[in-house]
Amino acid sequence: MNTLYSGGVNNPIDAIEQISYLLFLRILSERDEQLARLDPSYKPIFSGEWSKYCWGNFVTLTGDALFDAARGAIENIHQLPNLSETGKLLFSRATLKIYDRPTLRAIIQTIHSMELKPLQGIDIKGDAYEYLLSNLSMQGNAGQFRTARHIIAMMVEMVAPQPGERICDPACGTGGFLIAAFEYIKRTHTPKGSVAKGQITGEELSSAQWKFLEEQSFAGFDNDANMVKVAIMNLYLHQLEKARILFYNPLTDPRHYSDRYDVILANPPFAGSIQQESILADINLPTSSTELLFCKWFIDHLVDDGRAAVIVPNGVLFASNRAAKKIRELLLDTCELQAVINLPSGVFKPYSGVATGILVFKKGGKTKDVWFYDLKADGYTLDDKRQPIEQNNIPDVLAAWPERKVSVNSFLVNVDTIKQNEDFSLGIGRYQVNELVETIHRDPKEILQEIIKLEQEIASDVESLLKRL
């Protein structure tokens, strides 16, 4: 990243985008060569007029020749007849932005030297890309920010996605929730001995389950074209090259509104607003606030018994406006609202200090009891630096979750208690019982007598002092 910054690519999104293009070209070229070796009847993608765009050609070039070849590949490769739909979307309206020739050569040589084959179950290319994404410190215009991986992992474990289920993040950003769900399924279908060695293979999955995972399980949407490209590359590098990632706004575009999912995981944009006339009539919610519209979308797009774990700003939990109240009423009456996890306000720093919570619910039925957990520490400081610390409630959340155990940080609230509030508030402070410590005070008369006695002693001392003078 530093090389790109010094070479004039100062926008982190642009830097990730440029690396994505070049990394994809290398992987595509090497796979093309491998298939040509294994199958004599295979017609290579990089042949004829396209051979000049093969990765091996870039490595030998310098200066303007390298720039022209790389730019030609990036700007024209979407026209390849055999390129997948994912690849075509990735390179849609793509252009080379690394104008400094030595910088371009340095980046290409670095990518060329990378070991892309997994070693002992470690996905090197995927982990390397995740590291690059961790450098995205910009907050989006609509309240977008990356969700920390340990928060994602906790949410995924709470909904426990399974093979054969369709999993969606309608505001997918870089694709972190989808990748975490994939890794969870692999890990829970890998022998414990292999997991202990860090070898997450998913070898207990059947071939049919693998095929469904790779081709049908995952869907992600985003209305930011740059983030869609980042998500495509991220999932591509994590063995999900056929995941359904779309440049699409689910709140305004009706094309996929009939789709339903078994699991929804999301951290939708906060503090955003949509023009009223653009919002889908099917959502049927009197608001233009994106966080509330997304909550309605979550409920509408789960199958019966489908599960969701989603992050919402605290306003969704206790705001008094009609739309927020309607969302809470739907969660209690048309879903089983299982948990409200209160997150510390610094959990999304340095991007935002907004106070948030996690809603965990199942579609269908009615809520009986809601498990509240006040998560006060997530293993990191709550300032902009977010340095690791020992205090961490996440292991306790996951240990207590299956039986909804009550502890110093958690408690159950009956739905009737919640409905006694006209606004159906889900704010944890409304139900949290603060422990009262009895303080025993002395009798005021006793204290007053001591004061009088002390005053008399002082007066006597003063009188004796005056007599001596």
C-alpha distances in Å from residue 387, one per residue of 129, 325, 375: 21, 37, 17
What is the pLDDT, as a whole number, of residue 1? Answer: 62
Indicate the Cα dihedral angle 82, 84, 89, 95, nearest 10°.
-50
Closest CA to 429 of 317, 295, 316, 353: 317
Q: Encoding tokens for residue 116?
A: 């892309």
Q: Which amino acid is at 139?
A: Q
Closest CA to 208 of 216, 219, 196: 216
Encode pLDDT of 255-267 as tens digits. 898 999 999 999 9
What is the torsional sign of CA 161, 162, 168, 173? Answer: positive
What is the pLDDT, as a whole number, of residue 434? Answer: 60
Please determine, for residue 237, whether its predicted confidence score (pLDDT) is greater than 90.
no
Length of the chain, in residues = 469
Encode pLDDT of 174-207 as tens digits. 899 999 999 999 999 999 999 998 888 899 999 9
What is the pLDDT, as a whole number, of residue 142? Answer: 40
Cβ–Cβ under 8 Å, residues 121 and 199: yes
Parallel, antiparallel or unpaired: strands 302-313 and 356-363: antiparallel
Q: Enumerate domains of the chain plus CATH numbers.
A: 2-113 (1.20.1260.30), 124-431 (3.40.50.150)
C-alpha distances in Å from residue 278, one per residue of 250, 283, 288, 298: 11, 11, 9, 18
Q: What is the 3-state secondary structure (H, E, C) of the chain?
A: CHHHHHCCCCCHHHHHHHHHHHHHHHHHHHHHHHHHHHCCCCCCCCCHHHHHHCHHHHHCCCHHHHHHHHHHHHHHHHHCCCCCHHHHHHCCCCCCCCCCHHHHHHHHHHHHHCCCCCECCECHHHHHHHHHHCCCCCCCCCCCCCCCHHHHHHHHHHHCCCCCCCEEECCCCCCHHHHHHHHHHHHCCCCHHHHHCCCCCCCCCCHHHHHHHHHCCEEEEECCHHHHHHHHHHHHHCCCCCCEEEECCCCCCCCCCCCCEEEEEECCCCCCECCHHHCCHHHCCCCCEHHHHHHHHHHHCEEEEEEEEEEEEHHHHHCCCHHHHHHHHHHHHCEEEEEEEECCCCCCCCCCCCCEEEEEEEECCCCCEEEEEECCCEEECCCCCCCEEEEECHHHHHHHHHHCCCCCCEEEEEHHHHHCCCCCCCCHHHHCCCCCCCCCCCCHHHHHHHHHHHHHHHHHHHHHHHHHC
Low-confidence winner among 144-148, 323-327, 335-339, 410-414 (lowest mean pLDDT): 144-148
Cβ–Cβ under 8 Å, residues 293 and 285: yes
- Percentage of residues in the chain with pLDDT exceeding 90? 51
Mean pLDDT of 22-42: 87
pLDDT band at 437 (very low <50, low <70, confident <90, very high): very low
> Which of the two residues, 152 and 443, has the higher pLDDT score?
152
pLDDT band at 285 (very low <50, low <70, confident <90, very high): very high
Encode pLDDT of 352-387 as tens digits. 778 899 999 999 989 999 999 999 999 999 988 889
Q: Encoding tokens for residue 77?
A: 């490769």
Distance CA 148, CA 311 (A): 12
Cβ–Cβ under 8 Å, residues 227 and 131: no
> Which of the two residues, 451 and 215, has the higher pLDDT score?
215
Please determine, for residue 469, whether its predicted confidence score (pLDDT) is greater than 80.
no
Encode pLDDT of 89-133 as tens digits. 888 888 999 999 999 999 999 888 877 664 444 454 555 555 666
Distance CA 1, CA 141 (A): 23
Distance CA 319, CA 334 (A): 20
Please determine, for residue 269, whether its predicted confidence score (pLDDT) is greater than 90.
no
- Percentage of residues in the chain with pLDDT exceeding 70? 90
